[in-house]
Structure 1
Amino acid sequence: MEFDLSWLLLGVPIVFALGWLASRFDLRQLRIENRQAPKAYFKGLNYLLNEQQDQAIDAFIEAVQRDPDTTELHFALGNLFRRRGEYERAVRVHEHLLSRADLPLSDRERAQHALALDFLKAGLLDRAEEALRKLDGTRYQDQAWLTLLSLYERGRDWPQATAVAQRLAQRQQGDFAHRLAHYLCEQAATAQAKHKDFQRAQQLLRDAIAQAPDAARPRIQLAGSMAAQGDSATAFAHLLELEDHAPQALPLVASELVRIGNELGELERARSVLRRRYAVDPSVDIADALVQADVASGVSLKQAREGYVRHMVQEPSLIAAARWLSQESFAHDGAHEAVQRSVEDAARPLARYRCAACGFEAQGYFWQCPGCQAWDSFPPRRIEEL
């Protein structure tokens, strides 16, 4: 049986035509999908601008399904999940990105940083620490170290915090001298309070003074440690050093300076230091301490209380008024208690300290704000004086 070549010649054009039609169909489908993907993407952006996060997530999921290789859509989706508190879904998105072998190095670093933030926001601090450490040597390294520093401070892991702060200082990411001094002070407080190891505590505080000579906390804390051991003379000497190194902190220790000075027979020296500081920067706490010094030196209470009046002439103060009123006699004795209580209630909120970073208010002074965790953010002055 002979093979008829005419069928072959006829079949070639047919096969070519079918292939051409198939390619046209695929190209048309691809164009439709490419048009739909940007449409879903822009729809998501529109929802995002209108703060409609649920609809934005749905639109981005649709866009990712149509174009699974687009990394920017994955990052947008992961960030949205994190902002909504859906940390598990955010982690899955960023882990999916990291699992891709074709992901460029810059996007891989970005995904690793995003994953660390997911763990951090979710409160998974161990996993966040591990993820942050993987960013060493990347463009996110300094950001990662700053975040690690915050983690170690939150966990009160002062040796680890010290190591990270020193690395940041070496890379000239800021001045960490005062923060390093605080870490030493924290360790000293633990050594003294929990282990009764006064010797180690005092050595740590001396190291803190060497680390940051102009920091107030190490000298104040060292003075307190010495006074607790009965070494009032050394405690007094450390408090006097504040005048040269951290004079702004004198209101915090004014009463203690007078008390120890009176105990040592050095009351006049303490009073001289406080008067010099008061002349530069009047403070109700220093005014109060000077009144205490006058009483301790034998001045009558009535005459010493004029110190409050002099302060009020210079700086109007409800706190000083309340302290002056406490010993003032009224023509109508029954009114004294009511007036005194009213003035004290009005003055009490003004006697607090306020964080300059977040506005947190407290009756006592803090070296680290309990609200925002910032160091040295409390001015050593009452709210009334700010």
Structure 2
Amino acid sequence: MPDLMMLGMLMAAIAIGFWLGRRDRRPDTQPPAPTSLSRDYFVGLNHLLNEQPDRAIETFVQALEVNSDTVDTHIALGNLYRSRGEVDRAVKIHQNLLARPALDSEQGERVQLELARDFMRSGVYDRAEKLLEALLKQAQNDCHRRDGRRLLIDLLEREREWEAALEVAHSILRQEGGIRRAAAHWHCELAALDITEGSLALARKRLKQALSTDEKCVRANWMLAEIEFDHANYKQSIRLLQRIPRQDTGFTPIILEPLGNAFRMLDDESGLVRHLHQEVERAPYTTTVISLAQLIERRDGVEAAASFASQQLHRHPSLRGVDYLLDLYLLDADERETERFNLLKRHTQQLIEARPRHRCHRCGFEASLLIWQCPKCRHWGTVKPITGLEGE
């Protein structure tokens, strides 16, 4: 990061030097000014080469008068301050630019965007929101309008203003898949509030809107299934849960417990067995294998369950699978074997407990519980159960 910052400073210094050089060559430039500015420039460059970026930036800012030729450089210097965490200085530079009547509309829109980013970085969301709303009303540049809309959506999401975010994002949902996925989760957030307030009809409507916005929104079917289960509509709950692996097979492990509960409420164990057999053939996750092995154990005995689990582990090794197989072996073990199996069991348990259960497929963030928005990269629906050798 420091190397990138120094590179940015160097590029800014080159830009300043280029502008000063052009200014020196202008016939209408007053003689004393170039000498003074050039001296300031070389002083700033000296600070930069001596790894004194603070003093270098201050010198460059003082050296450059604000005009149409230097706007880009001032913006770059302000952004450097923001990247260094010195947001107050970035705000000062960008506000100073915005107050200049010489800016054309394109430059003014760029400065507004950067100033909004400054305010967001410092947590002053209300001022950022006002800037961005004004920009969206008056922006003539399509790129600036698009960037401003994305920034405003990000701000409203941070403030958990789901309705407002949906309103701002409405016009670009079809073009941008990332926004569409996020919008589906905003509908789910609103539905969760409706459920808390007892407005189930409105919650159902919102969750259907989520699926209409993004047909692969696992969370919407998950929440609908919970509503149906709570109202004893077990068959409908099962149908909704069974849609989830078709939306995203990576979420298969999370449906097994509620699915099993719904089948048991219907006293339909054979239906659950059929479903689990289908899932094992399609995607043999450890959780699915263990769920099916437990049913086999209850119906056909320990030996049959151990045989099934062992076959599946041979095809798809898993730490949790080994741990479950040890449980089965302990049921038929003699005293000496019990001691050995318990030793192995302690090791597998320690390894399992030390491992996270979920991981963001976007940034790698790990968590013990399922969360719908990654707190690190802030993408929606990317945190999934960890599968494979050490996962579900």
Task: Work out whether the TM-score is over 0.5.
Answer: yes
- Residue 319 in 1 paired to residue 320 in 2? yes
**Pairing 1:276-315 to 2, within 5 Å after superposition:** 276-295=278-297, 298-315=299-316
Distance of 2:46 and 2:233 partners within structure 1: 70
Question: Aligned partners of 2:54 and 2:264: how far apart in 1?
Answer: 69
The structure-2 alpha-carbon separation of the partners of 1:42 and 1:103, relative to structure 1 and needing over 3 Å to count, comes to farther
2:125 aligned with 1:125: yes
Partner of 2:263: 261
Question: Deviations along 1:196-217, whole A, 9 cap, x unmatched?
Answer: 3333322322332333333322
Give the CA deviation at 1:348.
2.9
The answer as to whether partners of 1:319 and 1:351 remain within 8 angstroms in 2 is no
Q: Is the partner of 2:103 in helix, strand or coil?
A: coil
The equivalent position to 1:191 in structure 2, one of 190, 194, 212, is 194
Alpha carbons of structure 1 residues 78 and 231: separation in structure 2 relative to 1, 3 Å: same
Q: Which runs of 5 or more residues in structure 1 are unaligned?
A: 1-26
Alpha-carbon deviation of 1:41? 3.6
Question: Which of the residues 185, 192, 205 maps onto 1:182?
Answer: 185
CA contact (8 A) 1:368 1:374 kept: yes
- What is the rounded CA distance, in whole Å, between the counterparts of 2:182 and 2:28 in structure 1? 63
Aligned length: 355
How many Å apart are 1:140 and its aligned residue? 1.4
Structure of larger gyration radius: 1
Match of residue 13 from structure 1: none
Q: Secondary structure of the equivalent of 1:30?
A: coil
User: Secondary structure of 1:135's partner?
Assistant: helix
Q: Can you list the C-alpha shifts for 1:275-328, whole angstroms capped at 9, x where unaligned?
A: 2232232211111221233245x2224422433322210111111111222343
Q: Are 2:205 and 1:203 aligned?
A: yes
Distance (Å, rounded) in 2 between the aligned partners of 1:339 and 1:50: 59
Distance 1:126 1:28 in 2: 45
Q: Supply the distance in 2 between the matched residues of 1:247 and 1:339 (Cα, whole angstroms).
A: 31
Greater shift in the superposed pair: 323-332 or 131-140: 323-332
Change (3 A) 1:99 1:211: closer
2:13 — aligned with what? none
Q: Which residue identity is paired with 1:281? A: A
User: Structure 1 residue aligned with 2:156, among 148, 152, 161?
Assistant: 152
| 1:31-62 residue CA offsets vs partner (Å, 9 max, x unmatched) | 35314424534664675587642132132133
Code of the aligned partner of 1:294: I
Aligned sequence identity (%): 28
> CA, structure 1 residues 51+211, in 2 after alignment: closer, same or farther (shift >3 Å)?
same
TM-score norm. by structure 1 comes to 0.82
| Secondary structure class of the residue paired with 1:369 | coil
Query: In 2, distance between residues paired with 1:228 and 1:42?
Result: 73
State the match for 2:252 in structure 1: 250
Query: Cα 1:110–1:176, aligned 2, differ >3 Å: closer, same or farther?
Result: closer
Q: 1:232 aligns with which of 231, 234, 237?
A: 234
Alpha-carbon distance in 2 for matches of 1:307, 1:351: 27
> Which residue does 2:33 correspond to in 1?
33
TM-score (norm 2): 0.80
2:171 counterpart (167, 174, 192): 167
CA distance, structure 1, for counterparts of residue 246 and residue 145 of structure 2: 39
The answer (yes or no) to whether the contact 1:60–1:73 under 8 Å persists in 2 is: no
CA displacement at 1:243 relative to structure 2: 5.1
Q: CA deviation at 1:385?
A: 5.2
CA RMSD after TM alignment: 2.8
Corresponding residue of 2:348? 343
Q: Is 2:173–2:179's contact at 8 Å kept on the other side of the alignment?
A: yes
Following TM superposition, by how much is the alpha carbon of 1:120 offset from its aligned partner in structure 2, in angstroms?
0.8
Structure 1 residue 173: deviation in Å? 4.0
Structure 1 Cα separation of the partners of residues 127 and 97 of structure 2: 18
Q: Could you tell me whether the CA contact under 8 Å between 2:187 and 2:207 is conserved in 1? A: yes
Quick check: 1:251–1:381 contact (8 Å CA) kept in 2? no
Aligned to 1:366: 371
> Is the CA contact 1:358–1:372 (under 8 Å) kept in the aligned structure 2?
yes
Q: What displacement does 1:144 show?
A: 1.5
Q: C-alpha offsets along residues 197-238 of structure 1, whole Å, 9 cap, x if unaligned?
A: 333322322332333333322112111111122222221122
Which amino acid counterpart does residue 54 of structure 1 have in structure 2?
D
